[in-house]
Structure 1
Amino acid sequence: MQTETITYIIISGIIALLLALFQYAYKSKIKGPRSWLLSALRFITLFSVFLLLINPKFDQVSYYNEKPNLVVAVDNSESVSYLEQSQNTSQLINSLKANEALNENFNIEFYSFGKEVNATDSLSFDEKQSNLALVFERLAEVYNSSISPTLLISDGNQTYGNDYAYLTKRYKQAVFPIILGDTTTYTDVKIQQLNVNRYAYLKNKFPVEVIATYNGNSTVNTQLKITSGATTVFSKPITFSKTITSQIVNLTLPANRVGVTSYRAQVVPLNNEKNTINNVKNFAVEVIDQKTNVAIVSDVLHPDLGALKKSIESNEQRNAEILSTTEFLNKANDFQLVIVYQPTNNFRALFKEIDRLKLNKIVVAGTKTNWSLLNQLQANYKQQLTNQTEEYQPTLNQNYATFIVDNLNFGEFPPLKAEFGETIFSIPFETILYKTINGTQIEEPLISTFEINDRREALILGEGIWRWRAQAFLNENSFNSFDNFIGKLVQYLSTSQRRTRLNVNYESFYNGNDNVKITAQFFNKNYEFEDNASLNITLKSKDTDSTRSFPFVLKNTNYEVDLSGLEAGNYSFIVSVNNENISKSGELKILDYNVEQQFLNANVTKLQSLANSSDGQSYFIDNTAAIANDLLNDSRFATIQKSTKKVVPLIDWKYLLALIALSLAAEWFIRKYNGLI
């Protein structure tokens, strides 16, 4: 309490006392004890009222006990059951739940993880992937500001995501790994890694790299074979020993027919091998008969050029070259699509050549664009000339009907910089992204497409696309989403197919552990996105002739169906729309591969290193009796008494109001009783 407030209280007490004495000791006819009693009651009333006017504040301190958290993260992947540890894991979870001492001293939270992390203790051990790095990312978001020792029940074998050995440094908690498995070493030979391009070109040869490894002490001879159907297309003997534990085999295979071709790479098993599943890897290559060549033409240097080239070439079916106008004119016949980046005075001849060859193009306009010239070189749109620049953020047009555009959270992307003013189109066009200024969307396109005279064109009204690619990586730790966006734009401009009301997006083949997801968009007759349509996919297995149907689910601006539970094999499908005579058909292949079955042992070394680096302790699943006692006796995880201080103003103290009312009532009763009223 401040000195000034104390002074006011003392003065208030003196004034209240003087007023009470003046009324009942100096002026009153009542003498004796009744006078002093009335004086005291009047003093209490006046002093209490003065206190309310001053309204001093008091500190109110309360104490409470805070228990530490005990985070239990359980590996729910198939490798746990494959290592025959699912029963032991379930028993350990039940013992933790039943331990009264642990529940009394900790707030126990259970999580299961595979490719994703879920807050649950329900275990099925059927996850196809193990992403241990994501476990520590998610837990760090929740528990880094509290005391939360963590039990990691896992075999330590990671099949997806970043290496968790590095991400654990962000997680500021002691980690206690429960190791599912043993340290027994088995003789084993396996295909550690197989590298091959997803696409190849007709009548070319495509490279394949096979990395085979060996775990054992004796010298062994085996054979690497690659087959396609019943035909062996490659064979080579390989030898391993105690010192030669790996072999890298590089080879090329011919691409003789268009379509998806499946292959099977196998290292012939040894006589005493325990795990022969990891001796085999299936892979597939899609053979195409043409490659899209894209010219990126610019006379200015800008990071957008490199970002566009990287995005386009992320698909191996496409090649991009950054050229000057002169270089393009010398080899214009080599390209199917031209990206005209910020045209200047040197672009007159380029536009004439593009028109002569009837090439599709993307025009990217920015702060260095000569709009006076560009307005003259084409008649499809005109830009208002203001000689001023503006920054525009993107907003997705959810009714864009030409091809499927995924929402990449465009609203969080950095703005593009361009000429200020309206762009007026003289032909019909469709907007992919609208301009947004200071959070307000305006009905002007930032990125648009149109078709005229059997040619397709896109207009991007802004520079700074490289920032979008960087932002996509920050959002998802991957460039894939942005590269796919640019890839779809390039694909649309590189083909001559007419737009349809039903668009289906899928891959020709999927690896066994991939998420098999098919997306679709459906539009009404005005090519506006229809968000209440009913889409179904009918899937037929070519191997068994069985047929199944699945409904699509609306997600944002797409319909999506998840087929990740399908068995490996060849499938044909038909996507249809209920009450509409519209459908799309296709084929896909799912390769037989289960990454969770590739392991013989737990990754003991890595889990023990994790325990040491986080000041925790590792345990084997067969020796977990001491875990509870170790946690309870660790002084770092003791219950902490904490206090909270709350500043309470006197006016909130209801008892003071009751005291004022009581003293006034008592004073009135005494005066009334003595005939003073």
Structure 2
Amino acid sequence: MNNLTIIYITIAAITALLLALFQYLYKSKLKSNLKYVLIALRAISIFGILVLLINPKFESFTYFDEKPTLVVAVDNSESVSYLKQDEKAREVVNALNTNSVLKDRFDIQTYRFGKTVNTLDSLNFNERQSNMALALKQFGEVYANQTAPIVVLSDGNQTYGSDYSYIAKGVKQPIYPIILGDSTVHSDLSIKQLNVNRYVYLKNKFPVEIIANYSGTEAINTELKIWSGNSVVFRKNLQFNASKSSEIVSTALMANSVGVKTYRVELVALDNEKNKVNNIKNFGVEVIDQKTNVALVYDRLHPDLGALKKAIESNEQRSVSILSPKDVLNKVNDFQLIILYQPNNNFNALLKEIKAQKINTFIISGATTSWSLLNQTQTYFKQAITNQTENFQPSLNRNYGTFIVENLDFNSFPPLISEFGALQISVPHETLLYKSVNGITTEDILLATFEVDATKHAILNGEDIWRWRAQSFLNTNSFSNFDEFINKLVQYLSSNKKRTRINIDYKSFYNGNDDVIISAQYFNKNFEFDNSASLRIKLKNKDNQSVREVPLLLTNGNYTVDLSGINAGLYDFTIKHNTESVSASGSFQILEYNVEQQFLNADISKLKSIATHSNGAAYFSTQTKDIINALVSDNRYKTIQKSTKNIVPLIDWKYLLGLIALSLFIEWFIRKYNGLI
């Protein structure tokens, strides 16, 4: 309570007393001592009311002790068990959790991490990828305002995500790696990296780049081979020694037939080599007959052009040519799809040629689009012309069923500039995105697709789509989700394939550690999306003829099944409805590769590096007592006494209101009883 409030309360007390004295002493006919009781009661009532008007605030403090948090995170990936450190990891975790001195000093929070981070309920060391960078980043954010040293049990071999030594620099907490592994150096050959395009073209040569590594001190000779089935298609002799520990091998292979082709790269193992798994790596390519050619036609330079070209060409099956209307006019038949960017009067001849040749189109409008031209040259849609623009955000139509849309947070995307007024499409169509204004979704079309006269078309009613690609990167640190969305739209528009009641989305082949997720959409007889369907996938391994059936689950508007973890091999699958004779089939191949089995030793130098930069310390799994003593004796991790300050206004104190009411009632009763009223 400050001094000014005390002065106000003092003035209120004096005022209350003076008013009470004035009422019961000045010209009062009451002669008995009862008047002093009435003066006191009236003074209390007036003083209480005035104090409520002043409403002083009272402070109270609650004191408590806060122990520092000890974060214990365990690498639950397969590489730990492959290095035979799984039992040692369990022993260390148990020792940390059960040490009484450590429990008295810290609030211990335990986690396990692989590709994701979870609380520690059990350890099985069967996760196929490890992402220590994600674990350190999340711990750094959650415990940013606390005293919380981080103990990480790991071999330091990360197979997914950003470099954890870089992420660790942004973590304010000290990091204590407990190294699961030894420092013994064994002679080892390994294929460090293999670079190859996913798609190649028939009768063309495709490049393959291999980085071969050697760890050891002796001079050795080996041979690198590339196998296609039982045939060696490339071989080269390699020499390594203590000063030459790696070599880049480049070659080109011929694509002779269409389809998925698999190859095996092998480094001939040394006689005394301990880990031979990392000497072999499989890779696959999909041989296609031709590229999908897309024309991106413009009459005005804009960042959207570059963003669209980058997004479409992220799929190696597609090629984009950025052309003016005049340049593309005489070769429209060279393209499977023509994107018309903000058509104006210079597009008049091209629009007529496209209509005559029945070419698929994707129209993108904006501030400089000539809607009068578009309204006149076709009868499929019509835009109300207001000569005014507005900013509209996208709102996804979850019932859109022409192709599968997922992985994009449209609600976070910035608005597009669009013509103010409704776009009316007069032919059967599906709206993919609606316009949203101030968080309210309207019925106006932002992006829609339709089919007419054996052609497919889409219209995006807004410019600045490059901002969407940038926002997608900010959301996920990757352009891939946005690029995949654009490529699905382009794939639909550039294909003349008829629509089916079950759409499926999958890849032709997966690497051994990829997530194998297959998505599907099911439509009723009116081609309306059915979110109550019961779908199952029948999966057949063509190598051993084994068959399994798994139900598909409805997730984010699509039916999906996660087949991650199944054995390498060639698979056929059929997705069918449980009660209707509707199905869709496909095939894919999983290449044998386990990234967690590529390591021979723990990455000791990197683990020690993050400990040094964070003012922590690194220990081996045999030094459990040492790390416990170091944590307990470190003066940075002392219990802190904290206080909570509570500010309570007097108006919340119910007893004062009761006192005012009671004093007024007693005063009234006394006066009534003595005939003064």
With the length of structure 2 as denominator, give the TM-score of the two structures: 0.93
The aligned amino acid for 1:131 is: N
Q: 1:527 is matched with which residue? A: 527
Q: 2:74 is matched with which residue? A: 74
Contact 2:340 2:362 in 1 (8 A): yes
Structure 1 residues 20 and 457, CA gap change in structure 2 (3 angstroms): closer
Contact 2:422 2:445 in 1 (8 A): no
1:249 deviation in Å?
0.9
Any idea what SS the aligned residue of 2:625 has? Answer: coil
| Cα distance in 1 for residues equivalent to 2:259 and 2:332 | 29
Contact 2:407 2:481 in 1 (8 A): no
Structure 1 residues 18 and 607, CA gap change in structure 2 (3 angstroms): same
Structure 1 residues 548 and 659, CA gap change in structure 2 (3 angstroms): same
Structure 1 residues 62 and 219, CA gap change in structure 2 (3 angstroms): same
Moved more, 34-43 or 412-421: 34-43
Structure 1 residues 348 and 242, CA gap change in structure 2 (3 angstroms): same
Unaligned runs of 5+ in 1: none
Structure 1 residues 41 and 461, CA gap change in structure 2 (3 angstroms): closer
Instruction: Establish whether residue 505 from structure 1 lines up as the match of residue 513 from structure 2.
Output: no
1:13 deviation in Å?
3.5
Instruction: Establish whether residue 267 from structure 1 lines up as the match of residue 267 from structure 2.
Output: yes
The aligned amino acid for 2:635 is: S
Contact 1:399 1:527 in 2 (8 A): no
Any idea what SS the aligned residue of 1:287 has? Answer: strand
1:666 deviation in Å?
10
1:16 deviation in Å?
5.4
| Cα distance in 2 for residues equivalent to 1:63 and 1:266 | 66
Q: 1:133 is matched with which residue? A: 133
Q: Show CA shifts across 1:555-574 (max 9, x none).
A: 01111100002011111111
Contact 1:307 1:469 in 2 (8 A): yes
1:513 deviation in Å?
0.3
Any idea what SS the aligned residue of 1:395 has? Answer: strand
Contact 2:371 2:385 in 1 (8 A): yes
Counterparts of 1:460-475 in structure 2, within 5 Å, are 460-475=460-475
| Cα distance in 1 for residues equivalent to 2:571 and 2:62 | 67
| Cα distance in 2 for residues equivalent to 1:482 and 1:225 | 38
The aligned amino acid for 1:554 is: L
The aligned amino acid for 2:67 is: K
Instruction: Establish whether residue 247 from structure 1 lines up as the match of residue 242 from structure 2.
Output: no
Any idea what SS the aligned residue of 1:470 has? Answer: helix
1:177 deviation in Å?
1.0
Any idea what SS the aligned residue of 1:635 has? Answer: coil
Q: 1:458 is matched with which residue? A: 458
| Cα distance in 1 for residues equivalent to 2:198 and 2:539 | 24
Any idea what SS the aligned residue of 2:493 has? Answer: helix
Structure 1 residues 390 and 15, CA gap change in structure 2 (3 angstroms): closer
| Cα distance in 2 for residues equivalent to 1:604 and 1:4 | 65
Q: 2:594 is matched with which residue? A: 594
Any idea what SS the aligned residue of 2:311 has? Answer: helix
Q: 2:120 is matched with which residue? A: 120
Unaligned runs of 5+ in 2: none
CA RMSD of aligned residues (A): 2.8
Contact 1:398 1:529 in 2 (8 A): no
Any idea what SS the aligned residue of 2:152 has? Answer: strand
The aligned amino acid for 1:596 is: E
| Cα distance in 2 for residues equivalent to 1:510 and 1:109 | 36
Contact 1:402 1:500 in 2 (8 A): no
1:14 deviation in Å?
3.7
Contact 1:24 1:36 in 2 (8 A): no
Contact 1:24 1:38 in 2 (8 A): no
Counterparts of 1:152-301 in structure 2, within 5 Å, are 152-301=152-301
Any idea what SS the aligned residue of 1:146 has? Answer: coil
Contact 1:180 1:621 in 2 (8 A): yes
Structure 1 residues 639 and 245, CA gap change in structure 2 (3 angstroms): same
Structure 1 residues 40 and 351, CA gap change in structure 2 (3 angstroms): closer
Counterparts of 1:470-509 in structure 2, within 5 Å, are 470-509=470-509
Q: Show CA shifts across 1:637-658 (max 9, x none).
A: 2111122222222344456567
| Cα distance in 1 for residues equivalent to 2:670 and 2:338 | 103
| Cα distance in 1 for residues equivalent to 2:21 and 2:387 | 85
The aligned amino acid for 1:547 is: V
Moved more, 85-94 or 641-650: 641-650
Structure 1 residues 303 and 578, CA gap change in structure 2 (3 angstroms): same
Q: 2:446 is matched with which residue? A: 446
1:39 deviation in Å?
8.2
Q: Show CA shifts across 1:74-114 (max 9, x none).
A: 11100111111111111111122212222223221111111
Structure 1 residues 433 and 669, CA gap change in structure 2 (3 angstroms): closer
Contact 2:537 2:573 in 1 (8 A): yes
1:617 deviation in Å?
1.1
Counterparts of 1:223-622 in structure 2, within 5 Å, are 223-406=223-406, 408-622=408-622
Contact 1:115 1:127 in 2 (8 A): yes
The aligned amino acid for 1:155 is: D
| Cα distance in 2 for residues equivalent to 1:489 and 1:242 | 53
With the length of structure 1 as denominator, give the TM-score of the two structures: 0.93
Contact 1:156 1:179 in 2 (8 A): yes
